[in-house]
Each structure stands twice: as C-alpha cells, then as structure tokens.
Amino acid sequence: MIGLFGGSFDPIPHGHLLVAQAVVEARGLSQLRFVPARAQPFKAGRHAAPPEARARMVALAIAGEPRFALERLELDRPGPSYTVDTLEALRERERGESFALLVGADAARDLPQWHRAEALAGLATLVVCARPGAEVPVLPWPCQVVRVPGIEISATVVRARVAAGRPVRYWVPDPVAGFIAASGLYLADA
C-alpha cells in the first residue's frame, strides 16, 4: 500500500517528516508520497511560496529516505487541487495499486466539507494521524487512526521566523533552510 500525504508544504517542517515516518512504520506502507498542492482549495491565494519552490523543498527534505517520494500529480495540472481528483488519477495511472490517504486529526474535522468527500473512502484507506491530545473526529466513513508524535512546528511559525530574521535550523531540514535562505523565500511574510 502506498501512503499519500498532501498539503501545501510551505515549507515542510520536521514534524511532517516525523509523522510520515511514524505512519510508514505503523501501517507497513511500501512507500509514502508527499503530494504538494498547486492550489490548495482551503488556502486559495495564500501560498507564500510558488508551487515549484514548495516541491523543491519537499524533494530536499526527503532525499535519502528510499520509502519517501515526491508525487507531482497536483503540481502538473491546474488547480484547485482536489484530493478526490488526485486519487482518481492515481488509481487510473496505477491500476491495481492501493492507497492510504493521510489526514491530520485537525483536517479530518473538515473532511466532510472536502470536494466530493463521499468518494474518498472508496478510493483510498483513510488514515487519521492524531498527535497527543488531539481529538479524532467521528467520520461518516471508516478510517484507521495512527497515533503520531507531537511536534509543535508549523509552516506558519517557520515563515514568521524567516520574516523576522530568526534562524530556522532544527525547525526544517538543513537543505530546506539553505534553499529558503538562497531563494529569499518568506522574507516579506509577516
């Protein structure tokens, strides 16, 4: 089974990588693909970095981990990036493969409002990632819950640190921090 971990990754903090590793181990996934959204519907117009820069940061962050991969499907098509469209395209492209869709407990609360949400459970196994203290919502579809370590490092905080001229080493992987600095990303972000 292949795991799919979607998001803005604007940038990708260590916490996301730790969650990915925990789910790979807990569910015995053969691979976990990070799926950067070209235009995430719930963040329309609010991505701080362009799609290719976010994809590059993911690629830098996962380099060297053979079970992690970058999935470009949403980057290579126009937005909005609806998860259901991505799952349908992957199932068409990779007939016979099974997928697990990773969703944080906080995002799972909004899952019923996602575009064509009722189709998601028929396209992938839903895996809710719950940090310590996170309440797992009751969903109208079957799901598996994986308890993951809690690290309170968000992309929002990383962007704010960069904008304030503060270091982000240990907040994001070193190659990602270097890319942010070399690219001048997030300097105008407050």
Return the structure tokens found at 133. 């203290």
Query: Is residue 171 in a domain?
Result: no
Q: Which residue has the tokens 């799972």?
A: 108
| 47 within 8 A of 54, measured Cβ to Cβ | yes
Separation in Å, CA 133 to CA 116, 148, 151: 29, 11, 12
pTM (two decimals): 0.93
pLDDT at 129: 95
The boundaries of the domain holding residue 54 are 2-151
- Percent of the chain topping pLDDT 70: 96
User: Which tens digit of pLDDT belongs to each residue from 68-77?
Assistant: 999 999 999 9
In a domain, 73, yes or no: yes
Please state the separation of Cα 184 from the chain's center in Å. 23
176 vs 189: which has the higher pLDDT: 176
pLDDT at 80: 87
Two tokens at 34?
């990070």
Q: Is residue 52 part of a domain?
A: yes
Contact 125, 100 (CB under 8 A): yes
The answer to whether residue 45 sits within a structural domain is yes
Give the number of other CB atoms < 10 A from CB of residue 162: 24
Residue with the larger pLDDT of the pair 34 and 45: 34
- Return the structure tokens found at 4: 């799919």
Give pLDDT tens digits for 100-121. Answer: 999 999 899 999 999 999 999 9
Please report whether residue 170 resides in a domain: no
Between CA 134 and CA 122 the distance in angstroms is 26
Q: What is the pLDDT of residue 44?
A: 60
Position 125 in a domain:
yes
Q: What is the tally of structural domains in the chain?
A: 1
Is 79 a member of any domain?
Answer: yes
CATH number at residue 44: 3.40.50.620
Domain assignment present for residue 168? The answer is no
DSSP at 172: B
pLDDT of residue 122: 95
